[in-house]
Amino acid sequence: MKYELRYEEIHEMIKKGKKISFVDMRSLKEFNDYKIPGAINLPILNDYEREIVGRTYVKESVDKAKYLGINFAKDKLPSFYEKIIELRKSYDEVILYCSRGGYRSHVFFSFLRSLGIDVKKLIGGYKSYRKYIRENLDSLIKEKEFIVLCGKTGVGKTEILNKLNADYPILNLEELANHRGSIFGGIGLTQQPSQKYFESLLFKALDNDKKIIFTEGESSKIGNIQLPKTLIEKISSGRKIIIEDEIDSRIKRIKRDYNLSDRDEIYKSLLEIKKFISPEKEKLYLEKFQEGDYDFLIRDLLINYYDPHYKKNYSKDDLHLANNSAVIKNILNFKNSI
């Protein structure tokens, strides 16, 4: 039996339905920046310890760095052992990795194997996984065909996607990017993922046998996240459904979906938008913000900023639908007609 595996082999196991638990042995900072989706973090060295060991490795000697690393790691082994035993009860495979498949994963892997524990190690660590994603993401995207929900801000495209998700494959890019895609798109949300982690999430979302996928029309960037060029092209060439709704319904939906109690974030976003509006409009918006008149703010932004910037690259084959009780039925009829 092989205990050290390439990511290509692990991916084949995932495609066959095996339940895999990835255990990331890197420091918490590394883990938070990017990781294999679904991985848990058991840092053999914390951020401070990693810095000390790395400095010793460079400035003193490899042997002294190894000695320090072992000393830092030894007290963590009992609790890490218990966690691995727990994971083995719930998963078909438990796979350890660190940055490059070096000391941090190998020390714990060897320790567990010496005790007869059935764990595996990812050859090349995260770096080899990342290489696999970079080399295969574009080809995966090209396998898909997209039905694209388009429409002005607040018409309910994401809301419709979420309803479709109960029974049909969707790609919710705003959810993956943790951003709604406009200057105000980060209000009420936590920090966006790194570009690397977003691409990992994107690969995971598309890694299935579904050919036709519903998604939402997006610009090339969602907040700080850059969409892959191949994905932009595929979405651009997809069949379009233009969702429409009355402005009062759009305002109500935006008030519901955004955290309007986060006044600091709203204020920061208003300062961001001032470069695109007149000084008079900026003054008016700040006054309405201080008064808490969000209905006026949202209405005016929609009519005078967002709607005029909305790109209408429609074709005669695109479908226009009102966001009403029949919208899901009409979307599915459109899908079945393709």
Q: Which residues are catalytic?
A: 98
Beta carbons of 213 and 220 less than 8 angstroms apart:
no
Cα 197–chain centre separation:
6
Residue 24, burial from CB neighbour count under 10 angstroms (0-12, 13-18, 19+): buried
Cβ contact 245:323 at 8 Å: yes
Grouping H, G, I as helix, E, B as strand and the rest as coil, residue 327 is helix
Taking the chain, what is the end-to-end CA distance rounded to the nearest angstrom?
A: 47
* Contact yes or no for 168/328 (Cβ under 8 A): no
CA–CA distance, 250 with 307 (Å, rounded to integer):
12
Q: How far is CA 206 from CA 166, 231, 330, 336, in A?
A: 16, 11, 25, 21
